[in-house]
Structure 1
Amino acid sequence: MAATKEQYGAKSLTVLEGLDAVRKRPGMYIGTTDSQGLMHCLWEIIDNAVDEALAGACDDIVVTLHDDGSVEVADNGRGIPVDVEPKTGLTGVEVVLTKLHAGAKFGNASYNAAGGLHGVGSSVVNALSARLDVEVDRDGKTHHMAFHQGHPGVYDDADPAHPSPDAPFKRTRKNRPTELEVIGKVSPKKTGTRVRYWADPESFNDTAEFSYEQLIDRVRQTSFLVPGLSITVIDEHIPEEAGSYVETDAAQDPEIQDSNAGQQGESQVTEQSEANQAPSGGEQLGNTDASSDSDNSASDDTDTEQLESIGDTESSIASDSQSAAKYPHKRVERFIHTGGVKDFVDFLSRGEAVSDIWHITGEDTYVEETQAVGEGGELHAQEVTRNCGVDIAMRWVNGYDTTMRSFVNVVETPGGGMHVDGFMQGITKLVRKTVEDNARKLKVNLKDSNTRIERDDIMAGLVAVVTVRIAEPQFQGQTKDVLGTAQVKPIVTKMTEKQFGEMITGSKRGFKEQSNRVLEKIVGEMHARIQARKTKEVTRRKNALESASMPPKLSDCQPGNDDVAELFIVEGDSALGTAKAARNSSFQALLPIRGKILNVQKASISQMLSNKECAAIIQVVGAGSGASFDIEQARYNKVVMMTDADVDGAHIRILLLTLFYRYMRPLIENGRVYAAVPPLHRIALAGKRKGEYIYTYSDDELAGKLADLKRRHIDYHPDIQRYKGLGEMDADQLADTTMDPRTRMLRRIRMEDAEQASEIFSLLMGDDVPPRKQFIVDNADDFDRSKIDT
């Protein structure tokens, strides 16, 4: 130990100069060296171009993904300065790309609001690149400079039109200025910067992958935040003849159009996807022939043929889809929007709107003490007055998901910060006060200490974009995840309280009805949270006392079989009597409902909770509802909707599905919601096969089965039994066709695309009648009786 102490001296210290520190500890500057860090490098270069747009000097940015793995960002801004910086004796280009904490964003002269403020973005990307080339158009000339791992020099490319990081490189000698190479002439009015870089594989781990989807999301959001700025993405991996050009704006965004294109019938949300499920656990999922024919071999052959046919169809569809989608996206995509954050909120909104888009905007000033750079390069404290621009758009939609995006000078702050804290403080304070002032109208008991609006109640269904523009914001770390400028919070709070207060109280013209709907939703969320807490107290079936706390109409199964327990939601008391005799009480529970339950797509949360049928279902499932739903606490492994095979039964089923989708969505997402498939007809065989029965599930299937029996000369009783409801079956028939796992059929409810499903539910079950009417009119010609239960 003593020897070790003696060996420790000044010679043990390592001094990393210039960009070597970045290469040694890249995580300090880009967060991680995986895919996130790889994309962060691109954000740094793009943000520099966007800062030119914020300064009013740029209106066009082009991001090119070259087929050699490099990325190029070009803008028509002012161009990086090419003259010599007097302190270092280097050109502005070399200073920006090789010196940490160097740039034009430390003062107010060039940039009043910018995203890249630490002066390390471009230099860090340069340090972590195997090669970086920069071209600057200024003063009628095109200037060029190249770097290898942050060091300036000259590449000897075999083909200058196709530069490569593997080309021979001659490094400029240390402490010797590098002259910019003039490679062409341009119009004196033309200015701009082009940065092309190849990420260094030595700096990033093997899992680092470039994400085109993240790039498009970032470009799109930037086009919303900087109205009028055109951003084009070109992917050279896609041949020119294969990828067409797409331009998007606020009114013609392909994602908005795609979301509307998915509005189809209820059968496509549930029945069609359910029918394609493969058999699981010995059950026939989606098979339309549940024949009880004693000729097992023939029946098995039929089932096998049907499953093979389904498989062949799916393979054909998959093959066609892959052929059509040979290229994952367009070669060229251009984004330009003019509506700002209001259009951004409209783009982010999913589901039925509770309110219009509310807009909070304005400017204020604050005083900040900062370190100013003197003429001699020294730093000194100085108080400066800053401008703070606030631009917030918000709306509430049905549902409990929260979508909030926050930005500072177009740089996203995923961790929020002072601007988000100020916004939430303002709306929370005002909502609580408004609810208290209207307690009687909203049916809120102020004497109950539990009935207090929490922030989660307000955020349920909230879609908001919070942006501020300030000079030299203080971020927590180079990755700019959280805004730390404390003076922003009171400004945003004050502005929110004034403008949002006029909206939520209804004093602003045209907001009274909207504010009432918003307050009812928030109060409903509060009641749902309180109810969920109470429900969790009776979540698990442990003993007779706990079972007794369930609704009296529940016929529960025996405890101890939670992994296989099934809850059958049965339509009507007559079917319940038969189901009790048909079920296996060791793992099958029954809950009857009286006809059609409440349409929760139109109703508020408080109305849903006050509805006995809905409250009973939520209580029996035992996992809560809404945002507090915990699937691990669900008392049953499967929830099966067992309704009559008629139009009313289909209506009841979709009402139940709406309830599950809105308030117990994880059950659907995890494939634990099913629809029973009871038969429509029973054919009694005669002659040698007397006592045997065949069940069919549609009129077409009945006709086909009868024709088949005639062809095979099998006698059957001419009086075909038609089941009008589950109650018409005896216990053995119901067990064989609908409840016994060995012989029944179930359709699993799936949800491949939550956003598309949400829009379909809103269309079919929401308040807005004209779109639903138009949907019926448009699809009337395609009506097919075989697709519905009759």
Structure 2
Amino acid sequence: MSGESTGYDAADIEVLEGREAVRKRPGMWVGSTGERGLHELVFAVVGWAVNEVLAGRGGSVDVTLTSDGGVRVADDGPGGPFDAARHTGGPDLEALLTSFHAGPELSGRHITDVGQFRAGLFVANALSSRLTAEMRCEGGRRVQEYARGVAVAPPAAAGSATGNGTIIAFWPDTELFETTRCSFNVLEERFRQVAFLNRGLGISLTDERPAGEARALLFRFPDGVRDFVAALDAEAGAAVPPDVIGFEREDPRMAGTMEVALLWTGSGQERIVGFANSRATREGGTHLDGFRDGVAAAVIAYARERGLPTADLDPRDDRIGRSLTAVVSVKLDRPEFLGATRGLLGNTEVRNCVREAVREHLGNWFEEDPERAAEFVDRIGRGVHED
């Protein structure tokens, strides 16, 4: 079909760039203009703050839903130069707020994905009717305000300050979003997960919108995914604090680290959740395949050594995982996600690395506590043979 027959040629092509492109098609950058996209906008700013804190060995990120419909995100990260005139290396805050290309794309095992889209500060700024940014560094404060992604004035000194960090407050644009009211419960669930997966990180969530007293929660978990498994067990109705099995390991073959925790319960249900670089892998992946392989190998090896009935189990029998609650978190320099939703981890080398580590650690635990090990392995055997 020719351009002449349709009346369509190069003059009809609309090229959108930068802020204009983001505001014209907001769903492309945050997933939707509904509640889901609104939360991605919040995750974009919180994700940047979390990575600032983790990189600078800071401690906390504080998120506040303000009474006037805004969101304020404060961190105690290292801070730094606000604008290019004072900049000494790496992208400055003003550049991150006004350009897609302020620096190289963040990647690697030390980067935490809070949202699904990695929208970034530029997208958050462009999709907000108003945004203010404050940087505390070297004893001083510098502040800048934006309107729909455009600076109202240059960064300005705003007096002295103690400590370092950043505060970004923004108001999602009512002209673009179907709703600008965030769900406290959705944010609570995700921030809680991120705190579990990044041991020692503190994330607080405060809601100043309800009439009367504000709601406030603080998430900080010194035992990381072990605390995560204990919480999952408590949600299932366990009355006694569990004895969680857990370990961490770095493996250069997969260019990353793994953190695994597990617990056998009496529920009869399998509850195994996986994460890659703090991103939930709801469709599974090689890290969860490796975990199941390792559990099966450890259970069968232990049973064979002691002549238990479970020794004849097929390693692929999914009943081995019954009554098992576990969290498998890997952090990789080069994660490979499969599918449009990026919910399936595909790094092939991860499977064998996790399998070996789980088999070794669980096997050692069986040897150290043979009575409980025999109880668990026998329970698996009884469950299989009852079927």
Which TM class, normalised by the smaller chain length?
Answer: 0.7 to 0.9
Q: Which residue in 2 is equivalent to 1:179?
A: 154
Instruction: Give the 3-state SS of the residue equivalent to 2:135 in structure 1.
Output: strand
Counterparts in 2 of 1:489 and 1:67: CA distance versus 1, 3 Å: same
| CA distance 1:454–1:68, change in 2 (3 Å) | same
Aligned-partner residue type, residue 509 of structure 1: E
Contact 1:63 1:72 in 2 (8 A): yes
Match of 1:509 among 368, 371, 380: 368
Equivalent residues of 1:59, 1:76 under 8 A apart: yes
Q: Does 1:497 align with 2:355?
A: no
Pair 1:442 & 2:309 matched: yes
More off after superposition, 344-353 vs 39-48: 344-353
Residue 6 (structure 1) shift: 5.1
- 1:332 aligned counterpart, secondary structure: strand
- When residues 421 and 20 of structure 1 are mapped into structure 2, their CA distance, relative to the original with a 3 A threshold, is farther
Aligned to 1:82: 82
1:455-487 per-residue CA deviation (whole Å, 9 max, x = no partner) reads 531332221111123335344589753444444
Structure with larger Rg: 1
Instruction: Note the alpha carbon deviations across 1:409-463, whole angstroms, 9 max, x for none.
Output: 434333333322322232234445555x27963278x5xxxx7464531332221
Q: Is the 8 A contact 2:286 2:347 kept in 1?
A: yes
Structure 1 residue aligned with 2:284: 416
**In structure 2, what is the equivalent of residue 236 of structure 1?**
208
The alpha-carbon deviation at position 86 of structure 1 amounts to: 11
Q: CA deviation at 1:397?
A: 0.8
Question: 2:293, 2:315 within 8 Å by CA — same for their partners in 1?
Answer: no
- Identify the residue that residue 23 of structure 2 maps to in structure 1: 23
Kept in 1: contact 2:310–2:377 (CA 8 A): no
Asked if 1 retains the 8 angstrom alpha-carbon contact of 2:91 and 2:103, the reply is no
Is this contact kept in 2: 1:143–1:182, CA < 8 A? yes
Partner residue of 2:271? 403
Query: CA offsets, 1:673-693, max 9 Å, x none?
Result: xxxxxxxxxxxxxxxxxxxxx
- Distance in 2 (alpha carbons) for counterparts of 1:443 and 1:402: 18
| Alignment of structure 1 residues 129-140 onto 2, 5 Å | 129-140=128-139
Do 1:44 and 1:122's aligned partners in 2 also have CA atoms closer than 8 Å? yes
Alignment-derived partner of residue 95 in structure 1: 95
Mapped partners of 1:474, 1:493: distance in 2: 18
Matches within 5 A, 1:717-732: none
SS state of the match for residue 376, structure 2?
A: helix
- Cα–Cα, structure 1 residues 433 and 12, in superposed 2: closer, same or farther, change >3 Å? farther
Pairing partner for 1:390 from 243, 258, 265: 258
User: Residue deviations 1:367-399, cap 9 Å, x none?
Assistant: 7xxxxxxxxxxxxxxxxxx4x221111001112
**2: CA distance, partners of 1:131 / 1:414:** 34
2:310 corresponds to 1:426: no
1 or 2, which has the higher strand percentage? Answer: 2
Residue 212 of structure 1, CA deviation: 0.9
Per-residue CA distance 1:556-575 (angstroms, 9 max, x = gap):
xxxxxxxxxxxxxxxxxxxx
Cα separation, 1, equivalents of 2:363 and 2:23:
51
**Cα deviation code 1:106-154 (max 9, x no counterpart):** 477xxx60125986422222232222221111233222223333x2222
Amino acid of the residue matched to residue 516 of structure 1? A
Q: State whether residues 354 and 518 of structure 1, in contact with CA within 8 Å, keep that contact through their aligned partners in structure 2.
A: no
Q: Is the 8 A contact 1:61 1:74 kept in 2?
A: yes
Q: In the superposition, relative to structure 1, how do residues 395 and 13 fare at CA in structure 2: closer, same or farther (>3 Å)?
A: same
Separation in 2, partners of 1:2, 1:83: 49
Instruction: Give deviations 1:648-701, integer Å, cap 9, x for gaps.
Output: xxxxxxxxxxxxxxxxxxxxxxxxxxxxxxxxxxxxxxxxxxxxxxxxxxxxxx
Q: Which residue of 2 aligns with 1:548?
A: none
Cross-structure match for 2:182: 210
2:323 counterpart (447, 457, 461): 461
Residue 360 of structure 2 aligns to which amino acid in structure 1?
K
The 1:77–1:355 alpha-carbon spacing in structure 2 relative to 1, beyond 3 Å, is closer
Partner of 1:192: 165
Alpha-carbon offset, residue 101 of structure 1 = 5.2
Does 2:121 match 1:122?
yes
For residue 151 of structure 2, what is the aligned residue in structure 1?
A: 153
Does the alignment pair 1:331 with 2:215? yes
1:113 paired with 2:110, answer: yes
Cα distance in structure 2, aligned partners of 1:491 and 1:85: 47
Q: CA deviation at 1:66?
A: 0.3
| Superposition CA RMSD, Å | 3.5
Return closer, same or farther for 1:141/1:10 CA change in 2, 3 Å cut-off: same
Q: Return closer, same or farther for 1:360/1:184 CA change in 2, 3 Å cut-off.
A: same
State whether structure 2 residue 13 is matched by structure 1 residue 13: yes
- Matched residue SS, 1:146: strand
- Determine the C-alpha separation between the residues in 2 that align with 1:472 and 1:26: 28
Alpha-carbon offset, residue 498 of structure 1: 1.8
Residue 63 of structure 1 contacts residue 71 of structure 1 at CA under 8 Å; is this kept in 2?
A: yes
**Alpha-carbon distance between aligned partners in 2 of 1:35 and 1:107, rounded to the nearest angstrom:** 27
Aligned to 1:37: 37
Give the counterpart letter for 2:150 in structure 1: P
* C-alpha displacement of 1:359: 1.2
Alignment of 1:195-594 (within 5 A): 195-205=168-178, 210-238=182-210, 242-243=212-213, 331-349=215-233, 350-351=236-237, 356-366=243-253, 386=255, 388-432=256-300, 434=302, 437=304, 441-442=308-309, 452=314, 454-471=316-333, 473-475=335-337, 481-503=343-365, 506=366, 508-510=367-369, 512-527=370-385, 530=387
**Are the equivalent residues in 2 in contact too, given 1:360–1:499 (CA < 8 A)?**
yes
Are 2:84 and 2:94, in contact at CA under 8 Å, matched by a contact in 1? Answer: no
TM-score by length of 1: 0.43
1:201 deviates by: 3.1
Cα distance in 1 for partners of 2:204, 2:371 equals: 41
Say whether the 8 Å CA contact 2:53–2:78 is kept in structure 1.
Answer: no
- Matched with 1:54 is 54
Task: Report the identity percentage.
Answer: 31
What letter corresponds to residue 257 of structure 2 in structure 1?
A: G
Residue identity in the other structure for 1:421: D
Normalised to the residue count of structure 2, the TM-score between the two structures is 0.83
The alpha-carbon deviation at position 222 of structure 1 amounts to 2.9
| Aligned mates of 1:201, 1:455 — CA distance in 2 | 52
Q: Tell me if the contact between 1:106 and 1:472 (Cα under 8 Å) persists in the aligned partners.
A: no
Alpha-carbon distance, 1:404 to partner: 2.6
- Give the superposition deviation at 1:72: 0.9
Distance in 2 separating the partners of 1:417 and 1:34: 29
Structure of greater relative contact order (alpha carbons < 8 Å, 6+ residues apart): 2
Counterpart-to-counterpart distance in 2, 1:186 and 1:34: 38
Structure 2 unaligned regions, length at least 5: none
Equivalent residue, structure 2, for 1:764: none
- Residues 83 and 434 of structure 1, relative CA distance in 2, 3 Å threshold: same
In 1, Cα distance between the equivalents of 2:340 and 2:113?
9
Deviations 1:628-649 (A, max 9, x none): xxxxxxxxxxxxxxxxxxxxxx
Change (3 A) 1:86 1:62: closer
Change (3 A) 1:485 1:47: farther
Question: What letter corresponds to residue 204 of structure 1 in structure 2?
Answer: F
Equivalent-residue separation in structure 2 for 1:94 and 1:477 (angstroms): 34
Cα pair 2:77 2:165 within 8 Å, conserved = yes
Conserved 8 A contact 2:33-2:178? yes
Q: Count matched residues.
A: 380
